[in-house]
Amino acid sequence: MACHSWLCNISLLLLLLSLASQSCHALNSFGFDIHHRFSDPVKEILGVHDLPDKGTRLYYVVMAHRDRIFRGRRLAAAVHHSPLTFVPANETYQIGAFGFLHFANVSVGTPPLSFLVALDTGSDLFWLPCNCTKCVRGVESNGEKIAFNIYDLKGSSTSQTVLCNSNLCELQRQCPSSDSICPYEVNYLSNGTSTTGFLVEDVLHLITDDDETKDADTRITFGCGQVQTGAFLDGAAPNGLFGLGMGNESVPSILAKEGLTSNSFSMCFGSDGLGRITFGDNSSLVQGKTPFNLRALHPTYNITVTQIIVGGNAADLEFHAIFDSGTSFTHLNDPAYKQITNSFNSAIKLQRYSSSSSDELPFEYCYDLSSNKTVELPINLTMKGGDNYLVTDPIVTISGEGVNLLCLGVLKSNNVNIIGQNFMTGYRIVFDRENMILGWRESNCEYSSLLLLHYTAYPFSINYC
């Protein structure tokens, strides 16, 4: 018996949903848990237990201090706290507790070795300390030394050097011949901070993010980092760095080129310092989105804000900003900084805190907060395209040492506008390089394998998110 078209479509949809629940999509998604540098897992791995607690004045002083250092700003005044001792080779360096903001534990090689790598959306190359002559080999805390894994080219049976004729070799002009080993050199924003070595290929051990969790190893090109300089010797990225930029050599680009995932990834930030990075997580129907502003020479995750809304009061103001998960707090230039802080100050019904120079508070707009008072003052950013981005966590609370304060978690920039991680908390931020858009949707960062149906009229297609 012939069926009506609508009934056939419903039957087909149910069949596709049934098949999708039993099998994996051709493009999988893979993920790692990510950890804030002051979260308990990172403290345990590094053997560090004397870092400041979140919510204290010292915590925010330290985090604002590292923001300035890692975004090429002038050094702030010295921060007085218990230093860590990082041990590069046979030398010892005393440093403050700063560095990259989020870390993931990744496994590389055969047999597999684990590395606690820093995550950086502002650079491309994935590199590991490797047969190094100048690198951090361990951390010392409270008189106890903890050694880091160092990648050894000869120690992995699946390793292979990358030759100069590879399309990922950016320094081909420095090669004596096409069959030479490809060198690399990356210089970072912080003065004197760099990594040099040569490119290698080996297995990156991944696990699929679906109900049928399984290993899905893939070959990845990365840097064998033989010489690290500057902040890398001060513990900024003590055990390697995972570049998440738009370049061809970044891991998201390689996974997409190999056909393993879509050219997209997401990062989710929970309020407890834990989160998730998922490769292959692309845009969905249930999210806000805005296009990237692309530069030809060095594309970044730069977007346009067209309006600032504080407590219901809107001001049309267009400015560009980089979504940077590696910056703790949001940094804005005038007139955006002036607009958001003045509006916040006018709307909040609290006594402005009068600070002294000895307070070392990084935030300009702080207020005395009585213990029984709660404050909700929503901040919305209207993005290019018209979608609203509600900042779920714009406020910082500071307690202890005789103070109980509420502060606006925005700092004045002296160069670029940066939407920092504090404005991303409570969201799964999607860096969709396939469609060149930034997406966002509310999330508590607990992974769940959900099916989102993307369809036109016909046919139906199922995408994992």
Determine, yes or no, domain membership for 358. Answer: yes
Annotated catalytic residue, options 67, 124, 202, 324: 324
Asked whether the beta carbons of 179 and 200 are under 8 A apart, the reply is no
> Residue 209 has what pLDDT?
60
Cα angle 192-194-199, degrees, rounded to a multiple of 5: 165
Determine, yes or no, domain membership for 446. Answer: yes
pLDDT-derived band at 122 (thresholds 50, 70, 90) equals: confident
| CA distance to 36, 201, 271, 307, 416, per residue, from 320 (Å) | 26, 37, 26, 11, 8
pLDDT in tens, 223-232: 999 999 988 8
In the chain, the N- to C-terminal Cα span, in Å, equals 37
Asked whether the beta carbons of 129 and 135 are under 8 A apart, the reply is yes
Asked whether the beta carbons of 291 and 323 are under 8 A apart, the reply is no
User: Domain range spanning residue 443?
Assistant: 288-464
pLDDT in tens, 68-116: 655 542 222 222 233 333 333 333 323 333 456 788 888 999 999 999 8
Question: Does pLDDT of 210 surpass 60?
Answer: no
Q: Rounded to whole angstroms, how far apart are CA atoms 263 and 436?
A: 10
Please give the structure tokens belonging to residue 289: 């989105």
> Residue 68 has what pLDDT?
63
Tell me, yes or no, whether 42 and 81 share the same domain: yes
> Residue 359 has what pLDDT?
63
What residue type is 447 in one-letter code?
Y
pLDDT-derived band at 423 (thresholds 50, 70, 90) equals: very high
H or E, element range at 222: strand 218-229
Tell me, yes or no, whether 178 and 44 share the same domain: yes
234 has catalytic annotation? no
> Residue 307 has what pLDDT?
97
223 three-class SS? strand
CATH of the domain at 321: 2.40.70.10
What residue type is 133 in one-letter code?
T
Contacts of 161 (CB under 8 A, 6+ apart): 153, 181, 182, 198, 199, 200, 201
Tell me, yes or no, whether 272 and 133 share the same domain: yes
Q: Rounded to whole angstroms, how far apart are CA atoms 287 and 437?
A: 11
Tell me, yes or no, whether 330 and 433 share the same domain: yes
More reliable by pLDDT, 26 or 175: 175
Closest CA to 121 of 277, 290, 353: 277
Question: Does pLDDT of 424 surpass 70?
Answer: yes
Asked whether the beta carbons of 29 and 261 are under 8 A apart, the reply is yes
Please give the structure tokens belonging to residue 26: 């051709």
> Residue 214 has what pLDDT?
55
Tell me, yes or no, whether 97 and 163 share the same domain: yes
Closest CA to 302 of 242, 246, 386, 382: 246
Tell me, yes or no, whether 314 and 265 share the same domain: no
Q: Is 364 exposed, middle or buried (0-12, 13-18, 19+ CB in 10 A)?
A: middle
What integer is the mean pLDDT of 423-439?
91
Domain count of the fold of the chain: 2
Please give the structure tokens belonging to residue 144: 């106890």
pLDDT-derived band at 392 (thresholds 50, 70, 90) equals: confident
Tell me, yes or no, whether 251 and 382 share the same domain: no
Count of other CB atoms within 10 angstroms of residue 332 = 24
> Residue 308 has what pLDDT?
96
> Residue 454 has what pLDDT?
26
> Residue 94 has what pLDDT?
32
What are the beta bridge partners of residue 313? 310
What integer is the mean pLDDT of 15-37?
53
Tell me, yes or no, whether 298 and 423 share the same domain: yes
Question: Does pLDDT of 349 surpass 90?
Answer: no
**Among 23-27, 59-63, 311-315, whose mean pLDDT is lowest?**
23-27
Beta strands 264-269 and 460-464, pairing class: unpaired
What integer is the mean pLDDT of 223-242?
88
pLDDT in tens, 150-171: 999 999 999 999 999 998 898 9
| CA distance to 30, 34, 258, 279, 308, per residue, from 251 (Å) | 12, 16, 11, 9, 34
Residue matched to tokens 């993931």 = 104
| % the chain with pLDDT above 70 | 71
Question: Does pLDDT of 28 surpass 80?
Answer: no
Domain boundary among 260, 279, 298: 279
Asked whether the beta carbons of 105 and 229 are under 8 A apart, the reply is no
Domain boundary among 279, 296, 321: 279
Closest CA to 405 of 448, 355, 459: 355
What integer is the mean pLDDT of 334-348?
94
Question: Does pLDDT of 294 surpass 60?
Answer: yes
**Among 177-186, 206-215, 305-314, 408-417, whose mean pLDDT is lowest?**
206-215
Determine, yes or no, domain membership for 19. Answer: no
> Residue 462 has what pLDDT?
23
Tell me, yes or no, whether 409 and 314 share the same domain: yes
Asked whether the beta carbons of 337 and 430 are under 8 A apart, the reply is no
> Residue 456 has what pLDDT?
24
Question: Does pLDDT of 11 surpass 70?
Answer: no
Asked whether the beta carbons of 234 and 136 are under 8 A apart, the reply is no
Cα 12 to chain centroid, rounded: 40
Count of other CB atoms within 10 angstroms of residue 10 = 12
> Residue 38 has what pLDDT?
64
213 half-sphere exposure, CB direction, 13 A CA radius: 9
Q: Rounded to whole angstroms, how far apart are CA atoms 336 and 414?
A: 12
Q: Rounded to whole angstroms, how far apart are CA atoms 95 and 150?
A: 22
pLDDT-derived band at 378 (thresholds 50, 70, 90) equals: confident
| CA distance to 30, 98, 251, per residue, from 246 (Å) | 18, 26, 9
State phi, psi for 290 to the nearest 5 degrees.
-155, 150
Q: Rounded to whole angstroms, how far apart are CA atoms 341 and 345?
A: 6
Annotated catalytic residue, options 120, 234, 281, 432: 120
| % the chain with pLDDT above 90 | 35
Tell me, yes or no, whether 356 and 269 share the same domain: no
> What stretches of 294-432 show up as alpha helix (H) in DSSP?
336-347
What integer is the mean pLDDT of 364-380?
82
Please give the structure tokens belonging to residue 237: 């990225």
> Residue 314 has what pLDDT?
93
Determine, yes or no, domain membership for 7. Answer: no
Beta strands 302-310 and 288-291, pairing class: unpaired
> Residue 431 has what pLDDT?
93
More reliable by pLDDT, 297 or 3: 297
> Residue 49 has what pLDDT?
58
Q: Rounded to whole angstroms, how far apart are CA atoms 366 and 356?
A: 12
Computed over every residue of the chain, the mean pLDDT equals 76
Tell me, yes or no, whether 269 and 319 share the same domain: no
Tell me, yes or no, whether 238 and 346 share the same domain: no
Question: Does pLDDT of 16 surpass 50?
Answer: no
33 has catalytic annotation? no
> Residue 260 has what pLDDT?
85
